[in-house]
Amino acid sequence: MKTLTFPDFVINRDNEKCIQCEVCVRQCAFDAHTLDKETNKVETDIKKCVGCLRCATMCPTGALCVSEYSQKIRKNCNWNEKQLKELYKQAETGGVLLTGMGTDKDYKIIWDHILLDAAQVTNPSIDPLREPMELRTYLGSKPSKIDFRFDISDLKLKNLQKGILKTKLPPQLKIETPILFSAMSYGAISLNVCRALAQAAEECGIYYNTGEGGLHKDLYKYSKNTIVQVASGRFGVNPDYFEAAAAVEIKIGQGAKPGIGGHLPGEKVTEEISQTRMIPSGTDALSPAPHHDIYSIEDLSQLIYSLKEATEYKKPISVKVAAVHNIAAIASGIVRAGADIVAIDGIRGGTGAAPTRIRDNVGIPIELAIASVDSRLREEGIRNRASIIAAGGFRNSGDVVKAITLGADAVYIGTAALVAMGCHLCQKCYTGKCNWGIATQDPYLVKRLNPDIAARRLINLIKAWSHEIKEIMGGMGINAIESLRGNRLRLRGFDLHDNELKILDIKPAGESL
Partner 1 sequence: MIINSKNMTHRMLNEKIRSGVRNGDRKIILKNINGQRYIASGLKSEVNIKINGTAGNDLGSFMSGPKITVYGNAQDCIANTMNAGKIVIHGSVGDVLGYGMRGGKVFVRDDAGYRVGIHMKSYKEMIPIIVIGGSVGDFFAEYMAGGIIILLGLDDTKEIVGDFIGTGMHGGTVYIRGNINKNRLGREVDSVEFDDNDKKIVNEYLTEFCRDFNLNQKNLVNQKFTKFKALNSRPYGTIYAY
- The residues binding ligand SF4 (CB under 6 A) are 13, 18-24, 42, 52, 59-61, 63-64, 100-101, 418, 423-429, 434, 436, 438-439
Q: Which of 14, 127, 131, 240 binds partner 1 (CB under 8 A)?
A: 240
Closest alpha carbon to 177 in 151, 216, 204: 204
* Residue from 7, 170, 266, 475 binding partner 1 (CB under 8 A): 266
Tell me which of partner 1, ligand SF4, none is bound by residue 278, counting a contact when its beta carbon lies within the kind-specific cut-off of 5 to 8 angstroms.
partner 1
Asked if 204 contacts 176 with a C-beta cutoff of 8 angstroms, the reply is yes
- Residue 462: closest CA among 396, 370, 391: 396
279 lies in the binding site for partner 1 (CB under 8 A) = yes
**Residues 6+ away with beta carbon under 8 Å from 513:** 489
Q: Is residue 220 involved in binding partner 1 (CB under 8 A)? A: no
Number of residues counted as binding partner 1 (CB under 8 A): 43
Residue 113 or 385: which CB sits closer to partner 1?
385
- Determine if 239 is a binding residue for partner 1 (CB under 8 A): yes
Q: Residue 439 binds which one of ligand SF4, partner 1, none, with CB within 5 to 8 A depending on kind?
A: ligand SF4
User: According to the binding rule CB under 8 A, does residue 97 interact with partner 1?
Assistant: yes
**Binds 424: which of ligand SF4, partner 1, none (CB < 5-8 Å by kind):** ligand SF4
- Judged by beta carbon, residue 311 or residue 387, the one nearer partner 1 is 311
Of 229-237, 322-330, 380-388, 471-479: span binding partner 1 (CB under 8 A) = 229-237
- CB burial class (10 A; 0-12, 13-18, 19+) of residue 261? middle
90 binds, among partner 1, ligand SF4, none (CB under 5 to 8 A by kind): partner 1
Question: Which of 274, 372, 397, 466 lies at the binding interface for partner 1 (CB under 8 A)?
Answer: 274
Q: Give the nearest distance from C-beta 364 to ligand SF4 in angstroms.
A: 23
Strands 208-209, 179-181: pairing kind: unpaired
The stretch near partner 1 (CB under 8 A) out of 86-94, 202-210, 443-451, 465-473 is 86-94
CB of 243 to partner 1, least distance (A): 8
CA-CA distance, 314 to 165, in Å (whole number)?
A: 18
**Which residues have a Cβ under 8 Å from the Cβ of 10 and sit 6 or more positions away?**
46, 49, 66, 67, 68, 69
How many C-beta atoms surround the C-beta of residue 42 within 10 A? 20
21 binds, among ligand SF4, partner 1, none (CB under 5 to 8 A by kind): ligand SF4
When the beta carbons of 454 and 472 are compared against ligand SF4, the nearer one is 454
- Contact of 33 with 74, CB cutoff 8 Å: no
- From candidates 89, 378, 457, 467, binder to partner 1 by CB under 8 A: 89
Go through 270-306 and write b for each residue having 16 or more CB atoms within 10 A of its CB, e for each that does not. eebbbebbebeeeeebebeeebeebeeeeebbebbee
Q: How far apart are CA 500 and CA 265, in angstroms?
A: 41
Decide if residue 96 touches partner 1 (CB under 8 A).
yes
From candidates 61, 67, 80, 90, binder to partner 1 by CB under 8 A: 90
Query: How many CA atoms does the CB half-sphere of 335 hold within 13 Å?
Result: 26
Which among ligand SF4, partner 1, none contacts residue 59 (Cβ within 5 to 8 A by kind)? ligand SF4
SS3 297: helix
From residue 233, give the alpha-carbon distance in Å to each of 212, 237, 283, 291, 414: 8, 9, 13, 8, 21
- Element at 308 (helix H, strand E): helix 297-310
Shortest spacing between CB 15 and ligand SF4, in angstroms = 9
Q: How far is the CB of 58 from ligand SF4 (least distance, A)?
A: 6
Report d(CA 238, CA 463) in Å as an integer.
Answer: 34
Sheet holding 410-413, edge to edge: 179-181, 410-413, 387-391, 341-345, 317-322, 247-251, 226-230, 208-209
Q: Does 302 bind partner 1 (CB under 8 A)?
A: yes
DSSP state of 433: B
Going by C-alpha positions, the residue among 231, 235, 282, 283 that lies closest to residue 260 is: 231
Give me the half-sphere count of Cα atoms (radius 13 Å) on the Cβ side of residue 330.
19
Task: CB nearer to partner 1: give 156 or 292.
Answer: 292
Interface with partner 1 (CB under 8 A), residue from 41, 174, 263, 314: 263
Q: Quick one: 210 or 427, whose CB is closer to ligand SF4?
A: 427
Neighbours of 33 (CB within 10 A): 23
The DSSP letter of residue 511 is -
Pick one of partner 1, ligand SF4, none as the site partner of residue 234 (Cβ within 5 to 8 A by kind).
Answer: partner 1
> Which of partner 1, ligand SF4, none does 93 bind, CB closer than 5 to 8 A by kind?
partner 1
Is 314 one of the binding residues for partner 1 (CB under 8 A)?
A: no
Is 431 near partner 1 (CB under 8 A)?
yes
- Give the footprint of partner 1 on this chain (CB under 8 A): 89-90, 92-98, 230, 232-234, 237-240, 242, 263, 265-266, 274, 278-280, 283-284, 286, 288, 292-293, 302, 305-307, 309-313, 355, 430-431
